Each structure stands twice: as C-alpha cells, then as structure tokens.
Amino acid sequence: MARPGYDRAAQRIGIVHIGLGAFHRAHQAVYTDDAMAAGDRDWAIAAASLRSAGVHDQMASQDGLYTVTERSSDGEAVRLIGAIQETTVAAQAPARLAALLAAPDTRVVTLTVTEKGYWRRPDGATDLAGIVADGNSIYHYLAQAVVARRTSGRDPLTLVSCDNLPDNGRVLRAALAAFLGHQGQTADRDWFEREWRCPNTMVDRIVPAVTDADRDRVGAALGLRDEAAVITEPYRQWVIEDDFAGDRPRWEAGGAQFVADVAPYETAKLRMLNGAHSALAYLGLERGHIFVHQAVADPQIRPVVERLMRAEAATSFTAAEGQALEPYADALLARFANTTLEHRLSQIASDGSQKVGPRWLSSLAAHGGDAPATLTALAAWLRFIRTGNDASPDPRRAELAGLWADGDAASVVDALFGAQGSMAGLWRPTEAQRAALIREIEQ
C-alpha cells in the first residue's frame, strides 16, 4: 500500500473543502496528496459535509485517513491518503466551518456539492429565494467568509467548484454575488467581485458508490477495516482555469492541467462522458441492467451511446487545439466497459432534472440538426420520471411525476420544452424534434 510521502502532522490547513463525499476523496484530495508529496507544504484539507454526518463519523474515527483502491482489468492498486486533516458537519458545527473559512492560512476553497447544491432554477438562473429559504447552503457559509475576511483585513480566497456544471466557476461567482447583494452587503459584494476568484474547472474520475462488500474486500486485503474506503478507476483528469487570488497548490504534480480556457474540455466531458453516462443509466435501467458495464455491452444500447458521443455531442462544440475527440470517445467506451467497477446505473440516474440540461439539452440546442440518439436518451428519462423510481431521487420528482399524472407524452413534452415550458430556456425543439421525441417516448 502506497503511503503519504510527507510529514502529515507538520502540514497546516490551507484548503477548506465543502461537500465531503467519495468523489472529493478520490479526486481533489488525491491531487493534494500528490502536491504535498512533491514538497508543496501546508495544503492540508479541512473537509465539511453540509448536513450528513455519515462520512465525517467514518473519517473522524480514523484520524482522517482512508484508502483509495484503483480497480481495472490489470488488478488493484491501494493507496493511503493523508491530505484530509480535519472533518466537520456544517449543520452541526457552523461556527467551526466559519472559523476555517476565515482562517489566515486558508487560501483555497473547493466544492463538490452536486448540481443541485448551486440552487439553479430550471432555466439556469439562480434560485435566490430557494437559497434564502434553505439557510444551510454553500452561499450562507461563503458569504459569511467574505464578510469575516474583509472586516479582519485578511486575503481574499479562490473558490474552486468541482461539480459538473457548465461554467461552474462563473455560476458560483454570480450566485454568491447575488446573495451578498440580497443581504444588503454592498461593500462586501464589491470586494468579493473585485478580489476573489472563481476559476472554471473540469473534473473527471468514475467513483462508484462503495458497498459493504467493497469494505469487506478492502479490509481483507489490508488486515484493517476502512469505513471510509473509496473505490475508483485508474484514470483521473482535472483541468483548471489558471485564475487564482493568491497561492495555489501544485496540483500539476498529480497531473492537473492549468489552462486559459476550460470550456472545450468541460463541454466534451459534460456532453460526451456525462451525457453518455446518463443515456446508459436510463436506457440500461429500462432494460433491467444494474451496472454501467452491463448497459454498454447491450447491443441495443451501445450504438445509441456511440452515436450520441461521436456524431451528436462531439459535433456540438469546437474542440481546443490538440483536443482529439475520437480517441476520447474510444477511451470513454473502454472505461465504461471496466467490469471491475460496479458503477450502479441508479447512482447516475439520480437528480436527473439537474443533469439533463448540461448533458443533453445544451447539446441539442447547439447541434441544431438531427440528433436522434440524444432524443432517444431524453425520451428514456421522461419515461423514467413517470415511474417515480425510489432508488434515484430527484429534487423535482413530485413536480415531474405530476406532469404525467395530468397528461400524456405530448403534454409532458410541451410542459417542459414548449413556449412556456419550465426547461424552454435550455432547449426549444423544432416541430420535427418535438414529434420525434413524442414518438420515442411512446415506443
């Protein structure tokens, strides 16, 4: 087992992370572990869950240590990660999170709160009313940090969103500025907009939900029980806009790329990888599959996914210089076919109303032409929300199920994508696309 290549106890906390889940532990924490192993000091992480105490309880009993197991057809590689020095639960200890965000050693905040954590309305605008009503959103803690750091004369922070949203840094920046304005904190909002940075990023690593069987297997190999174990694939990618308010970790030691424009990489990942993942989820569940590798091997599904990636998503945007999309699609299909990763389709299918916009609707809107595979996937999602699948929750579940209760396929399509539809701001189908989508739903 590979161990941290640095004196863990000697590192001061330099990063606060919000959204303590498996993806962060398999991705940003690993890159930070690499940076400190390369001699970049004082970037230890204090990680906070917003509400759930589950991961905090697992990690606190292990002094923040946990293992990452990479699985592939070549076998397994296990690594002990020491980057996370402290964990907390924001809802239970808000003062501690506030103190961490205001601390002089803190220079970077990273976030993995999923798409719904950004409080966006179906048309993509900030749901300011929802943020205010929630009372425990990322914006409450970050706004408090802006105020505390300005009044104490401390340096501004860089906020690094690591969620699958187009322009994720810009989304975060606009919503936090709006929330500060709503609170009447004009001077704080002006300082935030002038001095703080919110770079766009693209993150990629497949991280299935860990099962008790996974923990048993890791424990048998190690001779120790790891309640916070993470299972993932060997592949990882992190592309970050090079725009920081101050110091940053040397994440490039772990292979991160710092670029002037993240957009082409972000778009390729959202529309090709995430778009294909969602297609596999809804089409695969419909055909009785449980895991991604089963769905991608299905001869009825694979051609749809290949067309969605290669002929539709890949042609809906302009690639960056040197960004080869055909080999990228080949690599994605190989990763999906990894039978050693039990990546559940139900995990990918959750929160679909938050995902279909950036993954499919943006591609449909930009493509402008024939995109039958994406329409097939979209129809599968619309059939899926009709069933109200308990294993895959969605913040708009009741509303979407209500559309089916009151009408047929045509009325549901119009309620979502028609002139007054709740998702019309993301995509307005042509008459031919509308008819094709209805036909697909009714098959």
Domains and their CATH numbers in the chain: 8-259 (3.40.50.720), 263-442 (1.10.1040.10)
Res 443 pLDDT > 90: no
Q: What is the pLDDT of residues 103-157, one digit of tens each?
A: 999 999 999 999 999 999 888 889 999 999 999 999 999 999 999 999 999 999 9
Q: What is the pLDDT of residues 148-175, one digit of tens each?
A: 999 999 999 999 999 999 899 999 999 9
pLDDT of residue 406: 78
| Residue 203: strand, helix, or coil | strand
| Residue 48: strand, helix, or coil | strand
Res 299 pLDDT > 80: yes
Query: Is the torsion defined by CA of 303, 385, 19, 99 positive or negative?
Result: positive
Q: What is the pLDDT of residues 47-69, one digit of tens each?
A: 999 989 999 999 999 999 999 99
Query: Is the torsion defined by CA of 390, 420, 113, 313 positive or negative?
Result: positive
Res 193 pLDDT > 80: yes
Side chain identity at 374, as an amino acid letter? T
Residue 79 token pair: 């690594």
Q: What is the pLDDT of residues 367-378, one digit of tens each?
A: 877 899 999 999
pLDDT bin (cut points 50, 70, 90) of residue 92 is very high
Q: Output the average pLDDT for the chain.
A: 95
Per the listing, tokens 């309305």 go with 121
pLDDT of residue 420: 92
71, HSE (Cβ side, Cα atoms, 13 Å): 20
pLDDT bin (cut points 50, 70, 90) of residue 191 is very high
Is 290 in contact with 361 (CB distance < 8 Å)? no
pTM for this prediction = 0.87
pLDDT of residue 123: 80
Q: What is the pLDDT of residues 311-369, one digit of tens each?
A: 999 999 999 988 999 999 999 999 999 999 999 999 999 999 999 999 999 999 998 77
Strand partners, 185: none
**Strand 66-72 and strand 75-81: pairing?**
antiparallel
Q: Which candidate, 24, 262, 275, places its Cα nearest to that of 163?
A: 24
